[in-house]
Structure 1
């Protein structure tokens, strides 16, 4: 296994001794410095998606550091640029931060200070590029027709390929997978990609419909068929005519009803309760189960003939723990959806959070991951976006808090979001929130928020 390449750092300064000293310091710290005497030369070496940071002096002949900053931000607004200022040149530093500099160093500076600033900049850049890659992949996924099967692992690529192939063939399908693995999404994908995509998709949870009414729900009834049947009712199968019926938790269907389902699958027609005339059907049936139906049939809990009728094409839907490489992509997808729906924003997941996601066993599969992403967006601010706290469910719930506490939590969340969006730039945060500077500082103190902490984070 190859060692990862050391993170690159562009160093720009017209003073040779500073270039040499900074390069040696960073090289000893494990980075790959590349020194340039002019901003023009550095820009020629700055490739798109450069994975490191830029460190530049402000005062240089030709293109100065401020002009370099503007050009770098024009090319890539997320590129961390650290500017070196002269002693006491505070006004220039303030201007640089307003222009979007990530941070600045004041001459003379210690080597440890440079290394720490570069370390944080490289980490921020890594998160930005990962976030960009995930968003690009999500956009590619969303360009596909129908619901997206999000994932890049081999098992998901094979599943997506099988879904595309089977969707073009008129055959019933059995989906097998654990609770929360995404069987309903696979069923919708099969429907949307098929010629039936514009017709009804009717989902029925066989375990959620009371046994006393499930037959009427599926097949419908005529007026007077039983007490309370005051008018004719069209059942789910008839309503889906021309489209697809999705029978989730098929193992929960009563044995007596399984006989009628078998007849529907064989004859492609139904009879409403209280009627004698069959109603022809043009439907595709997709069934889903979380149990081994063959074993259930052998145990007498499921009809064997129905199992073999359903088992024409079986698609296994993998649990999340078998495709851990998809977890970052899925989490990002669900977080973006939750953020768009709620109007809130959340920072990208850091290394510690990613470790939590990858280490968890996910017994609830994709459903559990989606719920966590929604909590991350809605309640993450209550625990500094610590995924371990959210996963363990130890964040305070708004419903358990008094109104003043809820108001303070909401206010803190808004201030935190504004700080992140404006990278800790106080004047812009004041303008955005409509607060006087003193009031904002009082609230920062009250909520233990520091503007400096947001200068190293990418805006949502």
Structure 2
């Protein structure tokens, strides 16, 4: 089933035909003929959405919405209205209704709206479940945030690999969080009480990387004034994380292979062998099986277990959770409470390709939390970056998303120009009042901000 719908309408024929249509569309339907009866169904654990007629005897749809959302604040409510009730419905949307449908309605449009609302409700419940897990646990859900199937699979594979105490290769694009996964592998293993030692193989000059890995004695080379313990020795009994291992020079690959095979290293300038017992976790953007510059014997020594960390564009349902998580962490007393992230914001997030992955998302979320005037779209490419901010966004968004962003920007600029005067905005944009109201609701534009 796509989701659960509580359908409320006092007209039996309309209620029954709508119920049949929704069941054919794979929704679970609970139908009631009055708001009072519907309230007996609703509770804090209700997993679905509410679709209600507005005009009903006794408690009407608006009163039902108010009481329902008092009990379940995030409950999506879709109002079914007559033609003359549109202004009232728009006002209700500003009070928290998800959407409204005018009678007589096209069944396909109702199904489409309900489908979106059920998906939103599902994400809300998953978000709530995740937040409860984070609050009550100190386990993997507290470290790796996500509800997508690929991330759930990664968590399961990670926990299995952590207890096996074998070498691991983590594959993933830049900014996906490979070091975080490596830290989790270390923390949930028997080596967690010892050192986790990360090193970025591409960030250290080739002339120094051997000394960084294996250490050196005083006087081993020019500038070596005193003995230095290398990363291998420092990670003894713990975990050594070799990030971007595909950039490791060929001559060092041989030494690492020997250290893994024999369990011994030698500092530069010293002939004494030092026993080491450690776990290697490597990370790579490239497939090491086909990387010509990477030794295959070292690959097979490392590739006992491999994990794949998907980019954000392959797990879109995680994007709003991660954005809100990092934005909430960035909120300070001076910046005030975090602004509500709207459906339009979520659409922008999920349409964007996030080439920088979680690293880029984290920075965008921090900008959004600290600057109360920035929209989510603005955070993707700051306008003071010295280039046209709209062009990169356009290359990553669908045509519908670009048109929506353009429409929202035009309305906001016109409202600002006329200081919130709706009549002046209608005249300049040549829009009827109802159309302008609907677009302002759709794009979560508050006129009061422009007065």
**TM-score normalised per structure 1:** 0.64
Give the Cα separation in 2 of the matches to 1:103 and 1:166: 43
Shifted more, 254-263 versus 44-53: the winner is 44-53
| Other-structure match for 1:368 | 357
| Other-structure match for 1:75 | 71
How does 1:204-223 map onto structure 2 within 5 Å? 204-223=199-218
Kept in 2: contact 1:23–1:34 (CA 8 A): no
Kept in 1: contact 2:8–2:15 (CA 8 A): no
| Other-structure match for 2:328 | 340
Structure 1 portions without partners, runs of 5+: 13-18, 402-438
Relative distance call for 1:137 and 1:174 in structure 2 (3 A) is same
* Residue 130 of structure 2 corresponds to residue 132 of structure 1: no
How does 1:301-312 map onto structure 2 within 5 Å? 301-311=293-303
Q: Which has the larger radius of gyration?
A: 1
Relative distance call for 1:6 and 1:305 in structure 2 (3 A) is closer
Give the Cα separation in 1 of the matches to 2:66 and 2:114: 20
- How many residues are aligned here? 387
Give the Cα separation in 2 of the matches to 1:5 and 1:254: 54
Which string of whole-angstrom CA distances, capped at 9 and with x for unpartnered residues, describes residues 133-165 of structure 1? 330353377446243273542x55554333222
Which string of whole-angstrom CA distances, capped at 9 and with x for unpartnered residues, describes residues 341-374 of structure 1? 33343224578548736xx6x7x4xx43652575
Give the Cα separation in 2 of the matches to 1:65 and 1:452: 20
Kept in 2: contact 1:141–1:150 (CA 8 A): no
Q: Secondary structure of the residue that 1:212 maps to in structure 2?
A: helix
2:316 to 320, 324, 327: 327
How does 1:193-212 map onto structure 2 within 5 Å? 193-212=188-207
Relative distance call for 1:117 and 1:235 in structure 2 (3 A) is same
| Other-structure match for 2:37 | 41
**Alignment RMSD, CA only?**
5.2
Relative distance call for 1:21 and 1:104 in structure 2 (3 A) is farther
| Other-structure match for 2:139 | 145
**TM-score normalised per structure 2:** 0.65
Relative distance call for 1:164 and 1:302 in structure 2 (3 A) is same
| Other-structure match for 2:228 | 233
Give the Cα separation in 1 of the matches to 2:161 and 2:187: 12
Relative distance call for 1:246 and 1:444 in structure 2 (3 A) is farther
* Residue 48 of structure 2 corresponds to residue 53 of structure 1: no
Give the Cα separation in 1 of the matches to 2:163 and 2:175: 26
Give the Cα separation in 1 of the matches to 2:92 and 2:64: 14
* Residue 308 of structure 2 corresponds to residue 317 of structure 1: yes
Kept in 2: contact 1:241–1:281 (CA 8 A): yes
Relative distance call for 1:41 and 1:306 in structure 2 (3 A) is closer
Structure 2 portions without partners, runs of 5+: 332-337, 388-415, 427-435, 445-451
Kept in 2: contact 1:270–1:281 (CA 8 A): yes
Kept in 2: contact 1:248–1:287 (CA 8 A): yes
| Other-structure match for 1:411 | none
Kept in 1: contact 2:8–2:34 (CA 8 A): no
Relative distance call for 1:265 and 1:355 in structure 2 (3 A) is closer
Kept in 1: contact 2:9–2:56 (CA 8 A): no
Q: Secondary structure of the residue that 1:168 maps to in structure 2?
A: helix
Give the Cα separation in 1 of the matches to 2:94 and 2:171: 55
Kept in 2: contact 1:328–1:354 (CA 8 A): no
Give the Cα separation in 1 of the matches to 2:122 and 2:372: 22
How does 1:59-458 map onto structure 2 within 5 Å? 60=58, 68-79=64-75, 80=77, 102=97, 111=103, 122=114, 125-126=117-118, 128-136=120-128, 138-139=130-131, 142=134, 143=137, 145-146=139-140, 147-148=143-144, 150-153=146-149, 156-180=151-175, 182-296=177-291, 299=292, 301-311=293-303, 313-317=304-308, 319-320=310-311, 324=314, 326-329=315-318, 331-343=319-331, 344-345=338-339, 346-348=341-343, 353=348, 356=351, 364=355, 367-368=356-357, 371-372=360-361, 374-375=363-364, 378=367, 385=376, 397-400=383-386, 442=419
Kept in 1: contact 2:168–2:305 (CA 8 A): yes
Question: Shift in Å at residue 336 of structure 1?
Answer: 1.5
Relative distance call for 1:384 and 1:124 in structure 2 (3 A) is farther
Kept in 2: contact 1:78–1:128 (CA 8 A): no
